[in-house]
Structure 1
Amino acid sequence: MSSPDLYGLRERFEKDNILLCFNGPISRSLIEEIGNALKNYLKSEQLSPASALDVFAAYIELTQNIRHYAASSQLPGADTATVIVSHYDGCYRVAAGNMVRVADGKALVERIALFAKMDKAELKTLYKTQLRRPRDETAVTGAGLGLIDMARKSSKPMEATLKDIGNDMAYFSLSIQI
């Protein structure tokens, strides 16, 4: 096995304005540690507290969604996440991806496409409706508010992609701009 081209990787990070990148199995403690590093970075950049909180919240939501999906699906490799935070032209982009079952990924892409067609008022109404909806006692995850909240905070529609990788598996990626 040859050594990785770290300089080439660094150049790519510089070109794409990547501030943070992680690729590997994600755990609760790792989410927390990376989150602390992100918080410290955002604080050092003197980003407004509201914007820093939105970037941090998007990171937490994306990584916890991956962790919850991996636990509930029992899909091998679903806990291996790629997470990137980048900064360009005054905006922060938080993106994350992992392996999913094709049907699960398609449903998620459709849901996110629906959010992309909504304006801020419609997203707020949807959020409030979901908030009032009784929570399923058997649900493994939350009330389903996280994606709606990210869509509300995003400065442009969230971008979701699904890449089929065979054997009823796909790689799902979601990106939010703040």
Structure 2
Amino acid sequence: MDQIDLFTLQQTYNQQRIMLCFNGPLTRSLIEEIGNALRNYMEREHATPSSAMDVFGAYIELTQNIRHYAASKGWHDSEASATVVIARDAEGRYLVSAGNVVSAEDGQALVERIGALAALDKTQLKARYKEQLRKPRDPDSGSGAGLGLIDLARKATAPLICSLKTLDDGRGFFSLRVVM
């Protein structure tokens, strides 16, 4: 393996204002440890408590969704890996991004769902959230009530942005960015 150019990597991270980056399999304990590191970092940056909670909440929602998805597919660690990046943009907003391998069908459904959420304004998102709260939950679905993405869209300061890149094996790499 070639030597990794850490200086260039550091320069890239600094230019893109990346505060935290992780690439690999997500375990419950690892999600917790990275979450603790994120909280500590935001405290040192003197982030407002509401900003810190929003960023932490987005991080937890995205990473737990990835972990639960991989478990629902019965995937091993190598297939269940994720890339998570927390950064700041030029305006000082926090960017919480996460990506993972998904089935092509699931990825396309997510792209459509997020596209629909991105087209809604705050009032419409609030109504969608309340509507979803009232829906009966399917106990056999194995997933949550479907509120997580809607809540992320409600708390975000810009529309959710996602992408789906087709992989050679027919699956896709799904990425989602939340601006807080």
AA partner of residue 57 (structure 2): A
1:98 is paired with a residue of what secondary structure?
strand
In structure 2, the gaps of 5 or more residues are none
Aligned partner of 1:138 in structure 2 is: 140
In structure 1, the gaps of 5 or more residues are none
Aligned partner of 2:36 in structure 1 is: 36
1:166 is paired with a residue of what secondary structure?
coil
The C-alpha deviation readout for 1:9-53, integer Å capped at 9, x for no partner, is 101101100000000000000000000000111112221111110
Aligned partner of 1:25 in structure 2 is: 25
C-alpha separation in 2, matches of 1:101 and 1:40: 35
1:130 is paired with a residue of what secondary structure?
helix
C-alpha separation in 1, matches of 2:134 and 2:39: 31
The C-alpha deviation readout for 1:110-162, integer Å capped at 9, x for no partner, is 00000011000000000011111111111222111000000001111011000
2:167 is paired with a residue of what secondary structure?
strand
Aligned partner of 2:15 in structure 1 is: 15
C-alpha separation in 2, matches of 1:73 and 1:108: 16
68-77 or 113-122, which deviates more: 68-77
Report the TM-score when normalising by structure 2.
Answer: 0.96
Aligned partner of 1:58 in structure 2 is: 58
Q: Runs ≥4 in structure 1, deviation > 3 angstroms?
A: 75-78
Asked if the contact 1:160–1:175 (Cα under 8 Å) also holds between the matched residues in 2, the reply is: yes
Aligned partner of 1:151 in structure 2 is: 153
74-83 or 18-27, which deviates more: 74-83
Aligned partner of 2:48 in structure 1 is: 48
C-alpha separation in 1, matches of 2:23 and 2:138: 32
**What value does the CA root-mean-square deviation take over the aligned residues?**
1.0
* Cα shift at 1:170: 0.6
C-alpha separation in 2, matches of 1:135 and 1:78: 29
Aligned partner of 1:81 in structure 2 is: 82
C-alpha separation in 2, matches of 1:26 and 1:3: 25
